[in-house]
Amino acid sequence: MLSTSPFRAPRGVAGLKAVNIMATTTAATACSLDNYLVLPDTSVDERIAAARRALGEECVILGHHYQRDEVIKFADFRGDSYKLSQQAAQAEGQYIVFCGVHFMAESADILKRSRQQVILPDLSAGCSMADMAEIGQVEDCWEQLVELGLTSDSGDRLTPITYMNSSAAIKAFCGERGGLVCTSSNAAGAFRWAYAKAPKAFFLPDQHLGRNTGYAMGIPLSDMVTWDPYLPLGGLAPEKLRAARVILWKGHCSVHQRFLPEHVDRVREKYRGIRVIVHPECRWEVCQKADALGSTEKLIKIVREAPPGSQFAIGTEIHLINRVAKENPDKRVITLDDSGCLCTTMFRISPQHLCWALENLAEGNVVNRIVVKDEVKYWARVALDRMLEIQ
Q: Which residues bind ligand SF4 (CB under 6 A)?
A: 66, 101, 127-129, 165, 253-255, 317, 343, 345-346
How would you class 273 by CB atoms within 10 Å of its CB: exposed for 0-12, middle for 13-18, buried for 19 or more?
exposed
Q: Give the separation between CA 206 and CA 133, rounded to whole angstroms.
A: 9
In angstroms, what is the minimal distance from the CB of 363 to ligand SF4? Answer: 30
> Which one, 91 or 127, has the nearer CB to ligand SF4?
127
> Which one, 165 or 368, has the nearer CB to ligand SF4?
165
In angstroms, what is the minimal distance from the CB of 64 to ligand SF4? Answer: 8
Give the type of residue at 319: H
In angstroms, what is the minimal distance from the CB of 389 to ligand SF4? Answer: 24
In angstroms, what is the minimal distance from the CB of 315 to ligand SF4? Answer: 12
Q: Give the separation between CA 260 and CA 330, rounded to whole angstroms.
A: 27
Query: How many C-beta neighbours within 10 Å does residue 22 have?
Result: 13
Task: State the pairing for strand pair 21-24/369-372.
Answer: antiparallel
| 3-state SS assignment for residue 97 | strand
Q: Give the separation between CA 336 and CA 313, rounded to whole angstroms.
A: 5
> Which one, 235 or 340, has the nearer CB to ligand SF4?
340
In angstroms, what is the minimal distance from the CB of 279 to ligand SF4? Answer: 9
Q: Using alpha carbons only, give the angle 366, 367, 369 rounded to the nearest 5 degrees.
A: 85
Rg, the chain, Cα only: 21
> Which one, 30 or 204, has the nearer CB to ligand SF4?
204
Q: Give the separation between CA 118 and CA 108, rounded to whole angstroms.
A: 7
In angstroms, what is the minimal distance from the CB of 248 to ligand SF4? Answer: 16
In angstroms, what is the minimal distance from the CB of 213 to ligand SF4? Answer: 15
In angstroms, what is the minimal distance from the CB of 267 to ligand SF4? Answer: 20
> Which one, 190 or 255, has the nearer CB to ligand SF4?
255
> Which one, 241 or 346, has the nearer CB to ligand SF4?
346
Q: Give the separation between CA 173 and CA 166, rounded to whole angstroms.
A: 11
Give the type of residue at 259: F
> Which one, 44 or 354, has the nearer CB to ligand SF4?
354
> Which one, 99 or 101, has the nearer CB to ligand SF4?
101
Measured in degrees and rounded to the nearest 5, phi and psi for residue 116 equal -85, 155
In angstroms, what is the minimal distance from the CB of 100 to ligand SF4? Answer: 8
> Are the beta carbons of 64 and 104 closer than 8 angstroms?
yes
> Are the beta carbons of 339 and 88 closer than 8 angstroms?
no
Give the type of residue at 264: V
Q: Give the separation between CA 8 and CA 297, rounded to whole angstroms.
A: 38
> Which one, 21 or 382, has the nearer CB to ligand SF4?
21
Query: How many C-beta neighbours within 10 Å does residue 298 have?
Result: 16
DSSP-derived letter for residue 179 is -
